[in-house]
Amino acid sequence: MVFHKKQLLEKELSFFYLNNKKIGFVPTMGALHKGHLTLVELALQENNCVVVSIFVNPTQFDNTKDLKKYPRTLEQDVALLSKLSKNIYIYAPDPIDLYGKKVQSKNYSFGGIENQMEGKYRKGHFNGVGTVLNLLFRAINPTNAYFGEKDYQQLRIVKKLVEIEKLPIQIIGCSIGREPNGLAMSSRNKRLTDIQFQEAALIYKTLKKVQVKFKKDSIPKIHLFVENTFLKNNHLVLEYFEIAPISHLKPAKRKRKETRYRAFIAVFAGEVRLIDNIALN
């Protein structure tokens, strides 16, 4: 069932609130793929019903062209979700229903995580993410909310957001769904040409090599390896590659014992920006 107005959705969910039933929530920007559906399937298993929001949030885009070109496939998305279960409520608002008249971000401080990587390269991105999720969480009041590790930094920010906003919601991280060639599934993949799609397999291939190299090589040596790998490719341009402790996500220059690290990468295939990450130890 699709709702464009939050008031109507709230009414529909009142049965679940009144009877102390569990509501799972999967926020998305639509153009759904199997990676999204894995989150929805897990949410269905762990809750009495699931709300999936489909909303391309304008405040989290620093690049207007990217916002304009973001794939929008509501009809297909609804068909996919309807096939999955009858217990799914789809919330697809326009910006005013969610934000009111002022479609703008609140300023958040997430303890510094917001300034690294995605936050550094996409100005205001995490303020937009925090703002829209705060609004969605308050409209839906879910028990559990599901986020992909594909956007690992975002997952960490959402955990901070519910602390800051004192929201009694459990945030659950889900592993990354991949194409057969290893490329992380993404709505943006729909914008890739066939050749870009094939070449983009290099991103995960490189991360897997980084995972092996991390056992013996220094961090600067690994950086050189990654930079050279992408310099040799005619279809992909590296935006950033970082290795960071998962505790604070500040890029590391050297390895420390008893610290858990992840590698993070952002790459352009033409105008399409792709991100991925991997656990290193």
- Catalytically annotated residues: 36
Q: Please check whether residue 236 is in contact with residue 204, taking contact to mean a CB–CB distance below 8 angstroms.
A: no
Spatial CA neighbour of 2 closest among 123, 88, 119: 88
Is 36 an interacting residue with respect to ligand AMP (CB under 6 A)? yes
Asked whether the CA dihedral 276, 85, 88, 187 is positive or negative, the reply is positive
Question: 155 vs 252, which CB is nearer to ligand AMP?
Answer: 155
Piece of 11-19, 92-100, 109-117, 144-152 that binds ligand AMP (CB under 6 A): 144-152
Site pattern 145..184 for ligand AMP (x: CB under 6 A): --xx-xx----------------------x-xx------x
Q: Please check whether residue 91 is in contact with residue 10, taking contact to mean a CB–CB distance below 8 angstroms.
A: no
Gap between the Cα atoms of 113 and 117, Å rounded: 9
Is 24 an interacting residue with respect to ligand AMP (CB under 6 A)? no
Number of chain positions touching ligand AMP (CB under 6 A): 16
The distance of closest approach from Cβ of residue 39 to ligand AMP in the complex, given in angstroms and rounded to an integer, is: 6
The distance of closest approach from Cβ of residue 80 to ligand AMP in the complex, given in angstroms and rounded to an integer, is: 13
Gap between the Cα atoms of 15 and 203, Å rounded: 45
Name the burial class of residue 217, with classes exposed (0-12), middle (13-18) and buried (19+) by CB atoms within 10 angstroms of its CB: middle
Choosing from 29, 78, 92, 274, the residue that interacts with ligand AMP (CB under 6 A) is 29
Is 53 an interacting residue with respect to ligand AMP (CB under 6 A)? no
Q: Please check whether residue 49 is in contact with residue 16, taking contact to mean a CB–CB distance below 8 angstroms.
A: yes
The distance of closest approach from Cβ of residue 149 to ligand AMP in the complex, given in angstroms and rounded to an integer, is: 7
Write out the residues near ligand AMP by the rule CB under 6 A.
28-29, 35-36, 39, 147-148, 150-151, 174, 176-177, 184-187
